[in-house]
Amino acid sequence: MFIPALLVLSAAFLLRSLLAARLDRWNIAAPVLMVVCGAAAALTVAPDKLVEVFNTEIAQHVAELILAMLLFVDATEVRGGRLWGRSPGLVARVLLIAMPLSIALAVLLGAVLLPDLSWPLLLLIACIVIPSDFAAAERVVRDRNLPAPVRGVLNIESGYNDGLVSPVFLFALILARTDNQQNTAEDALATALPFAIKAIVVGAAVGALIGLLLFLAARAGWTSAQGRRVAVLTTPLLAYAATVAVGGNGFVASFVCGIAFRYVFRGSAASYIRKVPERARDILTDPTAELQLLEEVTGLLTMGMWFVVGAISVLVIQFGLSWQVVVFCLAALTVLRIGPVVLSLLRTDLSGRDRFLIGALGPRGTTSIVFGLLALNGLATGDEDIVLTITVVCVLGSVVLHGIGSAPLANRLGRRRQP
């Protein structure tokens, strides 16, 4: 199985790379191609073999490392010079009002449509299907037809929501494990809180320390541009490993590490460039260039995750879909996001059309995939089937709705004015 899958995956990577510009003009995002190739590869493999591959400790650890790097990249990609961008009030409303409301509504709708599931499992599912990620429609946040505030909110929200949801996901996963039925919500919370606290401390320390060391080494001329890029690539892995080693949440640590690294390294570099522009120009020309290798590796891994989704989709189709799952996923992709976002942005300077755009342009992506794989390996037999099904249906639905439909929607509703 490995060699045929590797052959198809490598060919898909190459095809996407050779036709990237053409596919973008045809509005065919990378996830669409990778899902199709993954499904094609899976058709040649027996279903039980696929389950054995994805439901393993190795697959779980690979998914964990991918998410750790994604969270770090998300935390370092915020534009506008501030952690909350140029519109902190709007971002806070979407993250702290709309997202919790969407999660709560997803739990309630799940209780109606899927009454056999426990509330911890419903909360776990909500944490999988609600966070947005522009892997399926990355061109949207760069679309100049969209007003600048809309692009800014979407960019920062997609970067921060997975980091904020991670502790809740961990809490729900601990509580949903049937081999720990004696655990109450207080027990699970008592387990998750120390994880989060350790993660914040270790992540901030690692990010700040490496950011400072990297700046000092660059200023002294001890490192090269390639060396700096490799150092940045290893930073989230170090933060994740160090945090897990002391019993913390590696995901939260990677996210906090990215924030601390960005603040220390970019802040120090910018200050130095202002003070000594002639000398600094040869050493730290562009602080964002240090992230290039990490972003490229993460992008490649993200494409691989969409290949996995395509492969798993074959399993889901063979197992069969219920109308309740389809309705739940469709609601999660539409009204459960649009409604809370529009409501949270009332009485702001945004027009009704802009509020709707922010709500409608919320694709699901790698975060949902990785959370789904972690749940697949972390839950007891029986529960993981419904979680896997909902995860795949949700992200595949997002590929269709957002990967193909986001650009036309942005062009139609955002065309009226340029930022």
Report, as ranges of residue numbers, the positions in the chain whose pLDDT lies below 70: 1-2, 46-57, 77-85, 135-145, 159, 178-192, 273, 276-288, 380-381, 405-408, 410-411, 413-419
- Please name the helix (run of DSSP H) or strand (run of DSSP E) that holds residue 396, with its range, or none: helix 383-398
> From CA 218, how far away is CA 216, in angstroms rounded?
5
Token pair 């949903």 is found at 176
Given this model, what pLDDT does residue 22 score? Answer: 84
Q: What is the pLDDT of residue 207?
A: 94
pLDDT tens by residue, 93-143: 999 999 999 999 999 999 999 999 989 899 999 999 999 887 556 666 666
Which pLDDT tens digit goes with each residue over 1-13?
A: 567 777 888 888 8
pLDDT at 96: 92
Range 173-177 contact pairs with CB under 8 angstroms and sequence separation of 24 or more: 173/124, 173/374, 173/375, 173/378, 173/379, 175/120, 175/123, 176/118, 176/120, 176/121, 176/123, 176/124, 176/379, 176/383, 177/378, 177/379, 177/380
Q: DSSP assignment, residue 290? A: G
Contact 240, 166 (CB under 8 A): no
SS3 at position 364? coil
Q: Taking the CB of residue 155, how many other CB atoms lie within 10 A of it?
A: 21
Alpha helix segments (H runs only) across 177-276? 185-220, 225-245, 250-261, 267-275
Give me the pLDDT at residue 46, please: 66
- 218-244 pLDDT, tens digit per residue, is 888 888 888 888 999 999 999 999 999
User: How far is residue 269 CA from its own chain's centroid?
Assistant: 28
The model's pTM is 0.82
CATH code of the domain made up of 2-414: 1.20.1530.20
Query: Would you state the pLDDT for residue 290?
Result: 75
pLDDT score, position 31: 82
